[in-house]
Amino acid sequence: QDGPQRKKRKSEVGEVDKQLDILAIGTAVGSILLYSTVKGELQSKLDGGHDSRVNCVRWHQDSCCLYSCSDDKHIVEWNTQTCKVKCKWKGDNSSVTCLCISPDGKMLLSAGRTIKLWDLETKEVYRHFTGHATSVSSLMFTTVKPMNESKPFDGITGLYFLSGAIHDRLLSVWYIRSDRKEKNAVMSFTVTDEPTFVDLTVSEVKEESVKLAVVCRDGQLHIFEHILNGYCKKPLTSNCTIQIATPGNDGDSTPNPVPILAAAFCTDKQSLLLVYGNTLQPIIEKVSLNTSEPHICLVRDIQKVLSLKTDAALTKVKTPVVNSDTKVLVPGIPGHSTAVKTPASGKEKKKNKRKPGETEESIEERLGALDIDVSKVKTPGGLPQTDSFAVLLVQGLESNDAEILNKVLNTRKENIVKNTVARMPIHAVIPLLHELTKRLQGNPYSASVMVRWLKSVFTLHASYLSTLPDLIPQLGMLYQLMESRVKTLQKLSRLHGRLFILVTQVAASQTVQEIPEVNQTAKLVYEDDSSEEEGSDDEMMADKDSDENWDEDEEKEEQSDEQDMTVEKEINGDSDLEPENESEEE
């Protein structure tokens, strides 16, 4: 689906030999390439018809005429000799995905989801059919002549055609009536998965059964054999299912299935050409099958065939034979010759072989012999570096390994997180965001770690994310998750503020209660006795003032000394409540 789709034309025997080798290739840019398979080169290019990718190309029975359809909703009729557009018309309201030309060449089937039958002369719709719910991927006529031969045949009425669509496990058969009443399918074939390749044998004679080979996406081939004779209500199941598997030997007892890529009926309408194996190196095999058996499993050793070819390709290395008489001249020094080293002889090989009694040296001993410090070689703390973290992360995302992802994503170091996100490849950004979204929905503890990764991804890869067209649907769950968490943030911050005030008040009251009360009572009191000495009043007044000053100074000093002592005692753990010590100090 990625590259240009190739559609080979359906040629008839009466075509000119020149045109038999032309292969029409529709490209993704809207042009059509005409490639000559005999010359092995591009013959011409058809431009100017389509604005978008070409979905289907069909040759007309007239070899110079080619029809193509595209995502731009148009059908184009080309003249391949002049390489110009013969006619262009709108085929559908959405992209036209498939085309098929009627056996007589006068009608054209086109399909997007609905199927239309066009008259090629007037370019008008002849019949409408309901079609499928998804885009139609295959259209083909199953009969050449009508079953009812009593009426004159106009080239289209009474014919059956088959259609298949993507993601649809039913192939529908439609009947072209003379009236416009019936638009629904007359019968359907059911398969196990979406059909990827369809081939059939066209019914040319009345009461001849149509053989249908359908290859599904799951690698199975279903073969149907049915006579198309009117309406059938139930979906028809396959007469035979074919699978291919490996033998499952060489130690591995379980056989592995080999996908079938395509299948086509040979000219005898009995044997089949099967294409299976790897898409880059497919194997084509002609098989004659007994379709009476409901299930057939063909055993093919595909791995051995592939491995032998690759080994043969790898061993084609030619080593130059060096002669002992050869002189090697170094450029710049004329006549200078160097001794040529002969290839390693058997002596050196013998040195590497261990004797049965000897034990192998450890890596540490070998590093020690090389004078390399072992401690420097080991990574500190056993932690892998950011290079290996990025590799581990990509491996974990691709394999969906929870153990690897837990090891990487539970890292709390900001530096490692940033470096890992910066070194990871671009294609792993979206899977990483999906994984982080899944983990954010879980435990709040893990969510706090995941937010760091989210922050790094958005800061480092914002430019890449902004270029994605489908970013909003891909990150929709993450947006909703962030919005729901931010809604509760305001209430939580209010609650946090109130709780913070309460907690600080409680803590402050506890600290006030824990502070011990300082004993303010004086340890030493000095009382002055009445003086018996007589003196003048002035002297007595002066003495009194000086005594009072002295008392106040003494009291202040003693109080400060006492407070210092109490603090020292408290620090030393001594209690000052013993009365004996107090009396001794007094």
Same domain, 406 and 273: no
Q: What is the pLDDT of residue 253?
A: 67
Q: Among 426, 461, 483, where does a domain finish? A: 483
Give SS3 for 328.
strand
Q: Is residue 119 part of a domain?
A: yes
SS (H, E, C) 369-393: HCCCCHHHHCCHHHCCCHHHHHHHH
Hey, what are 460's tokens?
Answer: 């480092």
Say if residue 295 is in the same domain as residue 390. no
Looking at the structure, tell me whether residues 131 and 239 fall in a common domain: yes
Predicted pLDDT of residue 178: 79
Distance CA 194, CA 165 (A): 8
How many residues are there in the chain? Answer: 586
Question: Residue with structure tokens 């290839």?
Answer: 343
Dig out the tokens for 170 from the structure: 């039913």
Task: Decide: 54 and 68 in contact? Cβ < 8 Å.
Answer: yes
In a domain, 40, yes or no: no
CA distance 235 to 171: 9
Residue that finishes a domain, picked among 483, 499, 519: 483
Q: Which residues pair with 78 in a beta bridge?
A: 66, 85
* Residue 258 and residue 302 in contact, taking contact as beta carbons nearer than 8 Å: yes
Instruction: Specify whether 123 is located in the same domain as 255.
Output: yes
Quick one: angle between helices 386-399 and 402-409, nearest 10?
A: 140
| Tokens coding 113 | 């989801």
Distance from C-alpha of 124 to C-alpha of 70, rounded to nearest angstrom: 18
Give the pLDDT score at 445.
73
* Domain membership flag for residue 546: no
Both 118 and 240 in a single domain? yes
pLDDT of residue 1: 36
Please identify, among 483, 509, 542, the residue that sits at the C-terminal boundary of a domain.
483
Domain count, the chain: 2
C-alpha span between 344 and 394 (Å, rounded): 43
Q: 179-189, pLDDT tens digit by residue? A: 777 778 899 99
Cβ–Cβ under 8 Å, residues 201 and 265: yes
The rounded distance, in Å, linking the Cα atoms of 59 and 252 is 49
Looking at residue 6, what is its pLDDT? 45
The 10s digit of each residue's pLDDT in 498-509 is: 898 899 889 888
Domain that holds residue 284: 97-147+154-299
The residues, ordered by sequence, that sit 6+ positions from 129 with a Cβ below 8 Å of its Cβ are 114, 115, 116, 117, 174, 183, 184, 185
Same domain, 121 and 224: yes
DSSP 21: G
Residue 580 backbone phi and psi in degrees, to 5: -65, -45
Does 522 reside within a domain?
A: no
Q: What's the CATH code of the domain at 123?
A: 2.130.10.10
* Same domain flag for 278 and 390: no
139 and 251 in a single domain? The answer is yes
pLDDT score of 56: 94
pLDDT reported for residue 273: 93
Q: For residues 209 and 230, is the Cβ–Cβ distance under 8 A?
A: no
- pTM tops 0.85: no
In this structure, is residue 360 part of a structural domain? no
Residue 11 covered by a domain: no
Whether 317 maps to a domain, the answer reads no
The DSSP secondary-structure symbol of 405 reads H
Q: Helices 476-514 and 429-440, interaxial angle, to 10°?
A: 50
> Which pLDDT score is estimated for 34?
92
Query: Does residue 65 contact residue 78 with C-beta atoms inside 8 Å?
Result: yes
Residue 399 lies in a domain: yes
Q: Are residues 275 and 129 in the same domain?
A: yes
Where is 525: in which H helix or E strand?
none
pLDDT < 50 regions, the chain:
1-17, 308, 310-312, 345-351, 373-382, 534, 567, 575-583, 586
